[in-house]
Amino acid sequence: MSYHNFSKKLLFSLITTALTGVISLQARSVASSNPPSDTSLPLKAERKVSFETDEGTWMSLDVSPDSKTIVFDLLGDLYQLPLTGGAAVPISKGMAFESQPVFSPDGRKIAFISDRSGAENLWIADADGSNARQLSHDRHMERFTSPAWSAQGDYVYVTRSSTEIFGPGSIWMYHKNGGTGIELMKKGQHIGKTRHMFSWLLGASPSKDGTALYYSATNPIRSIDAHERFVTKIQRFDLQTGLHEKILDLQGGAVRPVISPDGRYLAYATHFETGTELRIRDLESGADKRLAYPIEPDVMQIGFPRRDNIPGYAFAPDGQYIIIAYEGKIHRINVKTSVATVIPFTAQVDLDIGPDLKLSQKELNGPVRARIIEEPVLSPDGRALTFSALGKLYVMSVEKGMPKRLTTTAFTQKGITENQPAWSPDGRWITYVSWSVTQGGHIWKLRADGSGTPIQLTKVSGFYRKPAFTPDGESIVALRSSIADRYKFHTPHGELDERQYREDLVRLKSSGSAVKLVAHLRRLTGETNPLFPDTGRPHFFKGSDDVYVYNQTGLMAVSLDGDPIKSVIQVKAPTRIYPHTASAVEKLRLSPDGKWALVIQYGHLYVVAVPKVGDQDFTINLFDSSVAQKRLTDIGADFFGWAEGGHVITWSVGSTFYQLPFSEALFSENEAQKTALREEQLPGTDIIVEVPRDTPSGLTLLRGATAITMRGTEVIENADILIKDNRIAAIGKSGDLTILRGTKIRDVTGKTITPGFIDTHAHWGRGMSRGVISYDDRRFAVELAYGVTAGLDVQTYTHDTFIYQDLIDAGLLKGVRAYNVGRGVFGTHNFTSKQHARGVLKRYKDHYRTNNIKAYTSGNRLQRQYVVQAAKELGLMPTTEGMGETKLHLTHIIDGFAGIEHALTTRKIYKDIATLLSQTQTGYTPTLLPSTDAYGYFLTRQNPLDNPKLQNFLPKAYLDERSRRSTDWRHDRELMFPQVAASVARIFKSGGKIGIGSHGQFDGIAYHWELQALATGGLTPHEILQIATRQSAEVIGRLPDMGTLEPGKYADLIIFDKNPLDGIRHTESIEYVMKNGRLYRGDDLSEVELSK
Q: Give the tens place of pLDDT for each residue, 407-425.
A: 988 888 668 999 999 999 9
Judge whether 609 and 628 are in contact, CB under 8 Å: yes
Which runs of E-coded beta strand occur in 317-383?
A: 321-326, 329-334, 340-343, 345-353, 368-369, 374-378
**568-687 placed in CATH 2.20.25.650:** yes
CA distances from 586 to 557, 572, 602, 798 (A): 18, 9, 8, 11
φ, ψ at 551 (rounded to 5°):
-145, -160
C-alpha to C-alpha distance for 958 and 328, rounded to whole angstroms: 44
Give Cβ neighbours of residue 960 (< 8 Å, ≥ 6 apart): 945
Q: Start-end ranges of CATH 2.120.10.30 in the chain?
A: 3-28+59-339
Report the C-alpha dihedral over residues 599, 604, 607, 611, rounded to 10 degrees: -40
Report the C-alpha dihedral over residues 950, 951, 955, 959, rounded to 10 degrees: 60
Q: 3-class SS at 345?
A: strand
Q: Start-end ranges of CATH 3.20.20 in the chain?
A: 722-823+882-1081
Judge whether 756 and 1049 are in contact, CB under 8 Å: no
Topology (CATH) of 722-823+882-1081: TIM Barrel (3.20.20)
Composition of the chain by helix, strand, coil, percent to 5 = 15, 35, 45
C-alpha to C-alpha distance for 155 and 178, rounded to whole angstroms: 10
Residues in the chain: 1092
C-alpha to C-alpha distance for 654 and 802, rounded to whole angstroms: 9
C-alpha to C-alpha distance for 789 and 796, rounded to whole angstroms: 19
C-alpha to C-alpha distance for 295 and 154, rounded to whole angstroms: 33
C-alpha to C-alpha distance for 268 and 234, rounded to whole angstroms: 9
Taking each helix axis from N to C end, the angle separating 861-874 and 834-842, rounded to the nearest 10 degrees, works out to: 50
Question: Quick check: bond before 294 cis, omega within 30?
Answer: yes
Judge whether 652 and 376 are in contact, CB under 8 Å: yes
Give Cβ neighbours of residue 395 (< 8 Å, ≥ 6 apart): 384, 385, 386, 403, 404, 406, 430, 448, 449, 450
Judge whether 165 and 883 are in contact, CB under 8 Å: yes
Per-residue HEC secondary structure of 588-657 comes to EEECCCCCEEEEEECCEEEEEECCCECCECEEEECCCCCCCEEECECCCCCEEEEEHHHCEEEEEECCEE
Q: What is the CATH number of domain 3-28+59-339?
A: 2.120.10.30
- What's the pLDDT score for residue 25? 29
**Distance of alpha carbon 116 from its chain centroid, rounded?**
25
φ, ψ at 1012 (rounded to 5°):
-70, -35
C-alpha to C-alpha distance for 996 and 977, rounded to whole angstroms: 15
C-alpha to C-alpha distance for 490 and 470, rounded to whole angstroms: 34
Report the C-alpha dihedral over residues 626, 628, 629, 632, rounded to 10 degrees: 170
Judge whether 269 and 249 are in contact, CB under 8 Å: no
- What's the pLDDT score for residue 15? 38
> Within a 10 A sphere around the Cβ of 428, how many other Cβ atoms?
14
C-alpha to C-alpha distance for 230 and 198, rounded to whole angstroms: 8
Judge whether 757 and 1029 are in contact, CB under 8 Å: yes
Of 978, 968, 987, the closest CA to residue 1015 belongs to 978
Judge whether 379 and 386 are in contact, CB under 8 Å: yes
Judge whether 435 and 774 are in contact, CB under 8 Å: yes
Helix (H) or strand (E) holding 942: helix 934-942
C-alpha to C-alpha distance for 311 and 324, rounded to whole angstroms: 8
Judge whether 238 and 224 are in contact, CB under 8 Å: no
Taking each helix axis from N to C end, the angle separating 886-895 and 911-920, rounded to the nearest 10 degrees, works out to: 30
Q: Which residues, listed in sequence order, are joined to residue 598 by a DSSP beta bridge? A: 589, 607
**Distance of alpha carbon 136 from its chain centroid, rounded?**
29
Of 1090, 1000, 879, 1076, the closest CA to residue 368 belongs to 1076
φ, ψ at 919 (rounded to 5°):
-75, -35
Indicate if the alpha-carbon torsion angle 578, 582, 583, 586 is positive or negative.
positive
Most distant CA atoms of the chain, gap in Å: 96
- What's the pLDDT score for residue 678? 66
Judge whether 228 and 301 are in contact, CB under 8 Å: yes
C-alpha to C-alpha distance for 181 and 177, rounded to whole angstroms: 11
- pLDDT < 70: residue spans in the chain: 1-39, 163-167, 186-198, 219-230, 413-414, 487-501, 523-533, 576-581, 613-616, 667-680, 766-767, 1092
Of 411, 395, 410, the closest CA to residue 687 belongs to 395
Judge whether 411 and 439 are in contact, CB under 8 Å: no
C-alpha to C-alpha distance for 614 and 445, rounded to whole angstroms: 38
- What's the pLDDT score for residue 552? 83
- What's the pLDDT score for residue 38? 39
Judge whether 780 and 505 are in contact, CB under 8 Å: no
- What's the pLDDT score for residue 225? 39
